Amino acid sequence: MIVCKFGGTSVASADQIRKVVDIVTSDSNRRIVVVSAPGKRFSNDIKVTDLLIRLGEKALSNGDTEKELCEVVDRYRGIAEGLGLSEQIVHIIEEDLRYRLSQDKEDSSLYIDTLKAAGEDNNAKLIANYLQFIGIDAKYINPKEAGLLVNNRPERVRALPEGDKRLSALKNEHAIIVFPGFFGFTEDGTLRTFNRGGSDITGSLIAAAVEAELYENFTDVDSVFAANPTVIENPVAIDRMTYREMRELAYAGFSVFHDEALIPAFRKSIPVAIKNTNNPSAPGTLIVKERDYNEQQVIGIAADSGFTTIYVDKFLMNLEIGFGRRLLQIFEEEEIPFEHTPSGIDNLSVIIRSKFLTKSKEERIVERIHKELEPDAVIVEDDYSMIVLVGEGMQYTTGLAARAATAIARTGANIEMINQGSSEVSLVFGVKKKDETKILKELYAEFFETANIHS
């Protein structure tokens, strides 16, 4: 059994949905189809989810919502007409939206969640309707009915394992299931959405629950590339990589696949295929548990900017048991996750994503460090980028760090930080933002263009 998920651009129009149906029906193992809300049809189009947020916000401010409602309904109408469906499905969708709008507005976050989820939910109904229309045994199933259970922490909605057993019953359905991505329900029946990109999570959860042989994630690129195509011209496609490699790449700017979505598949060792709805015969990228890393040590190079370093220096720091813990606690209490903590003998830096650091938080943190840890110096510097070389077995490859550091030296850029040692899968270089692009190009050339002439 294959679970396949189609992203926003794959289900944005009647033409796209016909491609989806062709893909689904071309392999009888494709039994469960998870769909996103209609995405962009062209570059400056607006995603249905964004239209729904706009609608919800208008409703919350007690304005007249007819215009915004119409925009959403029209998008579905356009798809329905393009697929030759009757007005009935559009009517169902419109009624559903009006019902959601009439819900209690007291908790605005819940209200917006309910509206946002309408994008996927109604698209699933529409696509199931189309499959039935063309004579295929298909069925829309709602996450509530299926038992997709989530926790009740709006700041970080996650699926609860208690739901897995009920979800696993989906594999007994005879019809092809069309399932909306992006949301689930709490124990008490409250609708909650995942983060953006959360349809990937839904697909992965279901694939894990039914123990699918494969989870296919259809999007609009042929594969995952070894480097960012907007920086590197025609980068090498990755045909096969491990979950951990995908995770490291996703962390540092590879936005192909949602981070958390890997977990359920990873836990059940279900292979994940990244494929292109618009070019389904392309081999795509297969994400698996293990690969033979002797063939290729470095599978990809990611780069991400927007990092800040907080450097703390204190003579004989390393004799103070608890110094590092107390420093990290200050960040924890300010709700700032840290990325790296390189250390010298008498100093420790905490590297964080700058987006978490407001001016007032920065001032408070520096003040607290001075007061609570009595350091000799605290220095905050931003505009750092992280360049991450990713590849299984990298740690066992003699000379790889030397090749990378030498390539960076060729650009004339300075290495501000190197972090190697915990992960077997990555080697992280901290550099100044201004040097990021030239370093990425040089490393790409070193590991992908001249791979054959190096030992």
**String marking each residue 406-445 x if it binds its own copies according to CB under 8 A:** x-xx--xxxxxxxxxxxxxxx-x-x---------------
Least separation in angstroms between CB 359 and its own copies: 20
Asked whether 59 and 116 are in contact (CB, 8 A), the reply is no
Binders of its own copies in range 354-393 (CB under 8 A): none
Classify each residue of 342-377 as buried b or exposed e, where b means 16 or more C-beta atoms within 10 Å of its C-beta. Answer: beeeebbbbbbbeeebeeeebeebbebbeeebebee
Stretch that binds its own copies, among 18-26, 143-151, 316-324, 364-372 (CB under 8 A): 316-324
- Per CB under 8 A, 348 contacts its own copies: yes
* 3-state DSSP assignment of residue 351: strand
Instruction: Check binding of 211 to its own copies (CB under 8 A).
Output: no
Query: Does the footprint of its own copies cover residue 453 (CB under 8 A)?
Result: no
Token readout for 207 is: 């694939």
Which residues between 140 and 159 bind its own copies (CB under 8 A)?
156
Q: How far is CA 30 from CA 3, 175, 214, 221, 262, in A?
A: 6, 11, 9, 20, 20
| Subset of 34-53 contacting its own copies (CB under 8 A) | none
Instruction: Figure out which of the listed residues 81, 396, 449, 450 binds its own copies, where binding follows CB under 8 A.
Output: 396
Minimum CB–partner distance for residue 174 and its own copies (Å): 35
Shortest distance (Å) from residue 416 CB to its own copies: 6
5 contributes a contact to its own copies by CB under 8 A: no
Distance from chain centroid for Cα 209: 20
| 348 beta partners | 312, 343
Minimum CB distance to its own copies smaller for 121 or for 248: 248
Q: Cα separation of 226 and 5, whole Å?
A: 23
Distance in angstroms (rounded) separating the CA atoms of residues 343 and 135: 64
Q: Which CB, 13 or 385, lies closer to its own copies? A: 385
162 burial via Cβ count (<10 Å: 0-12, 13-18, 19+): exposed
Using CB under 8 A as the binding rule, whether residue 316 contacts its own copies is answered as: yes
Which residue's CB is nearer to its own copies, number 1 or number 415?
Answer: 415
Confirm or reject binding of residue 398 to its own copies (CB under 8 A): yes
The correct pick among 76, 140, 215, 266 for binding its own copies (CB under 8 A) is 266
Name which of 345 and 453 has its Cβ closer to its own copies: 345
Give dist(CA 97, CA 51) in Å, integer. Answer: 12
Q: Does 290 participate in binding its own copies (rule CB under 8 A)?
A: no
Q: Which residues pair with 159 in a beta bridge?
A: 150
Does position 251 bind its own copies by CB under 8 A? yes
Residue 181 in tokens: 């991505």
- Side-chain half-sphere CA neighbours of 182 within 13 A: 23
- Based on the shown chain and the rule CB under 8 A, indicate whether residue 294 belongs to the binding site for its own copies: no
- Choose among 405, 415, 417, 399: nearest CA to 442: 405
Residues 324, 382, 383, 393: which binds its own copies (CB under 8 A)? Answer: 324
Interacting residue ranges for its own copies, rule: CB under 8 A: 156, 244, 247-248, 251-252, 259-260, 262-263, 266, 309, 311, 315-316, 318-322, 324-325, 328-329, 331-332, 335-349, 351, 395-399, 401-402, 405-406, 408-409, 412-426, 428, 430
